[in-house]
Amino acid sequence: MKVCHLTSVHSYNDIRIFIKECNSLVEASHEVYLIAPNTRNKMLHGIHIHGMINPYKGRIKRILNFKEDILSEALKVDADIYHFHDPELIPVGLKLKKQNKKVIYDIHEDVPRQILTKYWIPRPLRKLISYAFEIYENQSVKKLDGLVTATPYIKKRFEKYNTNTIDVNNYPIMNELYVPSSSNCNKNNAVVYIGGISKERGSSSMVKAIGKTESTLILAGNFRDEKEEVELKMLSEWKKVNFLGYLDRKQIKGLLETALAGLVVLEPRTNFIDSLPIKMFEYMATGLPVIASNFPLWKEIIEGNNCGICVDPLNTDEIAAAIRWIKDNPVKAAEMGENGKKAIKEHYNWESESRKLQKFYEDL
């Protein structure tokens, strides 16, 4: 099949879109195209990348105008199946349907709940916009050929509007991060967090907690907000933080192999509680014990597989106590790491998810 993935927001090398989905489809012998913003045309890993320059300054102008440029490029590709990844591209998907194309909507987030937390939307308008968008999204998906969701929770929301809905979870690629055997001899006295850095993702709690331990906190990722970055770096505990900024996939693997534990202490926000953060599974794949928020779904994974400790993400004493326990109990911590790897190998890996995606395409 000739397949075209579309995004107006994500980078061309996005982990879910490019590294996982597009590469898996190439491996299944499909002809794969990817239309993505702010890159040049190129062939990479057998994928035809069509770079689109976004000339529109500001989020609102991009949402209103860039989709027409994406649609024009998509029609030039003339694919059998179009697979789009952003809510703002729903109008593009509907127009492609009018051209008798097969169209898939890949739903990464529960957007109506996410809107309620968007700082750039005036607070009095958030509930109204959230409600209006949910109605629009629910009605639109009925007209599409299929939906791919990033979590079972999102799937449950949508399958009553479109029965051809599957969840394809963001689990790690086994041969990328999985470490067959672990050793504690090269471990540094440091815990690590990878990904976007913001207060809602636990940045303040992690920094304050590390000040109550003898360990160091390593932050690998970019700040989401300049003001929050300034405020965080003014904390007295910041002196115990090693901020590395963005790392590529190879650097992340090397970092995780030498840490004591991985942190994913996101605040109890509506859009986080039923999410499946990829960083949690990447920690497990490299044999790191996980210190995670005590959300019911996460407790089921972490405590159910005995691969880490769940804590109140707003309680810095609990986070600090978990870090100290990992440091003071290296044998039991290593057992947790091995349990996490076992769970990844048996259940939470991309290889099994990619087979679901390939069958979905074939059925369509």
Sequential pLDDT tens for the chain (364 residues): 999 999 999 999 999 999 999 999 999 999 999 999 999 999 999 999 999 988 887 777 888 889 999 999 999 999 999 999 999 999 999 999 999 999 999 999 999 998 988 877 888 999 999 999 999 999 999 999 999 999 999 999 999 999 999 999 999 998 777 666 655 556 899 999 999 999 999 999 999 999 999 999 999 999 988 999 999 999 999 999 999 999 988 899 889 989 999 999 999 998 899 999 999 999 999 999 999 999 999 999 999 999 999 999 999 999 999 999 999 999 999 999 999 999 999 999 999 999 999 999 999 9
- CA–CA gap between residue 53 and residue 40 (Å, rounded): 8
Which domains occur in the chain, in start order? 2-170+349-363 (3.40.50.2000), 174-346 (3.40.50.2000)
Six-digit token string for 342? 């076992």
Residues 358, 93, 24: CA angle, nearest 5 degrees: 20
- CA–CA gap between residue 272 and residue 122 (Å, rounded): 21
Look at the block and give the residue holding tokens 């990479």.
44
Cα-flanking dihedrals φ and ψ of residue 58, to 5°? 95, 150
Six-digit token string for 114? 């996410």
Best CA proximity match to 75, nearest among 37, 107, 35? 35
Cα-flanking dihedrals φ and ψ of residue 31, to 5°? -90, 115
Strand partners, 311: 293
The model scores a pTM over 0.75: yes
- CA–CA gap between residue 115 and residue 106 (Å, rounded): 18
> Which helix (DSSP H) or strand (DSSP E) does residue 90 occupy?
helix 90-98
